[in-house]
Structure 1
Amino acid sequence: MTLSRRVCGAVAALSLAAGMTACSNDSATEPAGGSGGGTYTIWDPYPQFDDTSDWVKLLQKCGTDAGVTVKRTGFDTTDLTNKALLAAQQGNSADVLIVDNPVVSTLAEAGVLTTTDDTKLDTSGIEPNLLAAGQLDGKTYGIPIGANTLALYYNKKVLDAAKVDPATVKDWASLTAALEKVKAAGKKGITFSAIGTEEGSFQFLPWFWGAGANLTQLDSAQGVASLTLWTDWLKKGYAPNSVISNTQTTSWQEFATGDFAFSENGTWQLANAKKTGFAYGIIPIPAQAGGTAPAPTGGEFVTAPVQKDTGRYATSEKIIKCLTNEDNALTTDTTLSYVAATKAVQEKQVAANPELKVWVEAVGAAKGRTSDNLGTKYPKISEQMWTAFQAALSGGKQPQQALSAAQTAAAAATK
């Protein structure tokens, strides 16, 4: 299949709901600027940063160091994916594209992205579990700029009143026992997001993977165990029914009331945790049998879209290396509340802020949602997974029944 047709198919798939116009079959036009010097475009998913921000100043400096001028545009995450696909179809892709890690496989499968072999980017220092989110069929399509993931925040006052030592929470049994004590003490147990969107799947995955389940078999005994854990918590009153409609933000707002013992949430809530007015701590999400559960990685990859003029890749490589080098990665990951993608920078982060130690541990155990070579199959599987836990948590189906239906639908969707 030609690049034009592959991209068109991806655009069509993403554009149905938005009512965007269909692709044409026109051949791609030559990108402006030529090789060497000139202007290089960078697109990122950080519209909150304007030209006065440290982030944009870094982009401009990396361009200057590479001998070019940088033209940067920030987009909403979903909008950026559509723009990247359409730009590839029209032959005017950005030189450097920073995208949410699950999107990498979509763009790679559509033929939009170069591999790190094409651009001669060195990925040897990147943590393998983080790099895996940008890999498909044995090829790597960029470098992670950093990662975030999930852990359990806890309210020290609530746990003290229930005589629960958070250090004893090592597996599902000890966590559930802690929730039982909290409820008996008149407080609320745990809040999380189980909304019927990717946010809900993101929060379900640590429990699903923590049971040893695999996304290619949603209704395995391990998968059923993870959904049974969640449904039992609701039945026993350890988690509120509001989790069914909670986003990660509204779930956090529940925890911020001070009534809950635990909240499943991410690194991005650290600043808000300091504003709650109560003493808190953080522990990794436990796996069923103990240890840290693999939580999904969030965060973006720095990628280089395909260009007709392959001579541009050398400069794009310089810009990407600048953005991801040790010193700049530390600054950027601090700005974005990310854990760095290399051990060397992670160590610097923990030295500067010991509170990040638990997050480094969580990221070390994390995995990409599109890992295991799932690629573009993941969104279809995820949709069936969130449909299943929504059905079970609302009481419409038993966990086994819900996941069996989900597996059948996912298998049909990913043929």
Structure 2
Amino acid sequence: MTPAARISAAIEVLADIEARRRPATDALKDWGLSHRFAGSKDRAAIASLVYDSLRRKASAAWIMGKGTPRSLVLGMLRLQRGMTPEAIAAIFSGERFAPEPLSATEREKLEGASLEAAPAPVAGDFPEWIEPSLQRLFGEDLVPEMQALTARAPLDLRVNTLKVASRGEAHDALPHLGAVETPLSPLGLRIVPSEDGRGPAVQSEPEFIKGWIEIQDEGSQLAALLSAVKPGEQVVDLCAGGGGKTLALAAMMENHGQIYATDGDARRLAPIHDRLTRAGVRNVQVRTPRGGADAVTDLNGRIDCVLVDAPCTGIGTWRRNPDAKWRLRPGSLEVRRKEQATVLDRAADLVKPGGRIVYITCSILPEENDEALSAFMERHAGFKPIPATDMLSSAGLSRLGEVVRRTKYGLQMTPLKTGTDGFYVAVLARG
């Protein structure tokens, strides 16, 4: 397919998303099934155009004066990809499979494109209703912080120290991937996305199959490291899901001690078993809930560290899921806040005196982070936050301390400050 034909396809997919109010992944999958002539490179390029348009949905509509699928693509090409009006006009030629030529109004809008007078939700491309919450956290940095969330995310890998001696050894085994060492995590390798958004097939690499590396955002790696778990401890990963942080904790503990991995949704635990085997993990016991029953009741009051990777709105992952931002509703936030309160209360029962809760979200909303912990500590007087300086020192992450945003109770990572997804981490100690 020609570049122009790919853009026509992206406009078609965006129209389907708008008309049927469906996730971008579903619309792209259906388009691919009905256009089987399109190769994998074509599909990847179209997906990249669609996701980039969704990243800049508000700002693209602002400069073009309307939010039609065509306008979103035009505005995105100007704002996100930095194309000149002349270059855009050359693609929008009206020739075979190309979009219709630019109108005089469209050309004028592209030439005068500016976000200088745009309100914060437009300039930062986020839903207007969360602006007060974000303003409390970011203040004058609001727009730059949110603009950083419109960029493409890199592909980060975590080196598994249960299988390989050092990050350098893993790096040297993968020269063809063009990976570089992550600046903050001592275990991370980073692969910058290509122009069309495609990444390497890491999961088919021999080193991946042997368990040397795992796909994990640097922010998620840092969150695990901030738990400061040690060999010999008793640990519960209360929202383990597919096991990404469970694997990281097991490596930190050098397979000594015990990790109990569980999740309120048993289906989310399905991938963890194969991942544990591949990674060479031997100190994890998976507790699958059955019939809605609690799977770790017998551990109450016995645990050194409870990791709560809490359910949240996922705003911190908008670089990877740009269409999710436009489907977020106030009701979703309220549901997540109730779930966070429930899982924190459950964690409190598990922790022994002198133990700790490590609370993690991939959100940047204070309601899901500091405010969730404020409410928790009102309900449970025996818990107090560990100071950020102590958290960083225990984890050996002094470099992170130089760049991360510190909140009342924890640390807030963001693409702008730390180059990671938007992870929040706080540690509460039980007296």
Shared fold (TM-score, shorter chain, > 0.5): no
Of structures 1 and 2, the one scoring higher in RCO (CA 8 A, sep 6+) is 1
TM-score, normalisation: structure 1: 0.33
TM-score, normalisation: structure 2: 0.32
